[in-house]
Amino acid sequence: MSVKVQGIIAAMVTAMYEDESLHEAEIRRQVERHIEAGANGVFCLGTNGEAYILSEEEKVRVIKTTVDQARGRVPVYAGTGCPGTKETIRMSRLAADCGADVLSVISPYFAAISQDEIIAHYTALAEAVNLPIVMYNMPARTGANIAPDTVAALSQVDGIVGIKDSSGNFDNMLQYIEKTDRNSFSVLSGNDSLILWNLLAGGAGGITAVANIYPHVMVSIYQNFIKGDIAAARAAQDSIRPIRGCFRFGNPNTVTKKAANLSGQPVGPCRAPFNRLNEAAVAAIAETLRSDRDRGMQ
């Protein structure tokens, strides 16, 4: 598949049964749901996919299930980033063998890392695999921001085709856009609240967690943007502010999954210990969903 990294890519949760085992049938239903809503891609094993807490065997099952269900209709992005370069290469090759179309690779984490080391890591990966690579910047989890000059340098490496920025710092993302060639390199917002602003600044779209709750709304941001209906795109973008506000109640992955479940999507729990929300938080999320439904969000 020739992949154009753009549009709305659903950062899928990994559906599980109540005992925390993988729910493959529900993973398939969720892939179908995102494709039917018009997503430009589906992304498994990201932060919302709980890749940090799945075994290697489970990761392989998730990728294979997602690829099999997508059937080439949209590209499948797979998260393969590990703390070490050799392990990242190994996981990336496994994802390629499973049929993934694009690699989403978070920068190395836990140990402190320099920008030179980040460049060496991604360059080695690009030399070792034959799939397009989208870097993933999430300093809140990794402890290191991928600097704009680093992104500019890596954008010149064959095989590195884009970056997802989840820093929440719009100026950081804007510099990514300014310092790279938008004809050959895609800058995606990993923050749902900044997708339209990313597009207006010359970015390529977003990888979105809120698509697990409101897939049609998230897709409409991009679809209205490319039609030139900025007012409608802005209305869709603004409409997710209440549910985004619920992320203050706990781990965003946990809130996303809880909201999806309360919306009638049986994606199950997050894995312990990241699975607890107090009663007040659950009630607030439920009330937000009710209000959103009254406004026609889906």
| Catalytic machinery residues | 136, 164
Contact indicator for 12, 28 with CB cutoff of 8 Å: no
User: In terms of Cα–Cα distance, which of 199, 154, 206 is closest to 180?
Assistant: 154
CA 288 to chain centre: 23
Q: What torsion do the CA atoms of 251, 254, 255, 260 make, to the nearest 10 degrees?
A: 160
User: In terms of Cα–Cα distance, which of 229, 292, 228 is closest to 260?
Assistant: 292
φ/ψ region of 270 (left if φ > 0, alpha if ψ in -120 to 50, else beta) reads beta
Give every CB contact of residue 68 below 8 A, 6+ residues apart in sequence: 28, 99
- Beta strands in the chain, from DSSP E residues, in sequence order: 7-11, 41-44, 76-79, 102-106, 133-137, 160-165, 186-189, 205-208
Distances (CA, A) of 5 to 21, 40, 76, 196, 255: 31, 9, 11, 16, 27
φ/ψ region of 221 (left if φ > 0, alpha if ψ in -120 to 50, else beta) reads alpha
Alpha carbon distance 168, 191 (integer Å)? 6
Distances (CA, A) of 269 to 24, 131, 274: 14, 32, 9
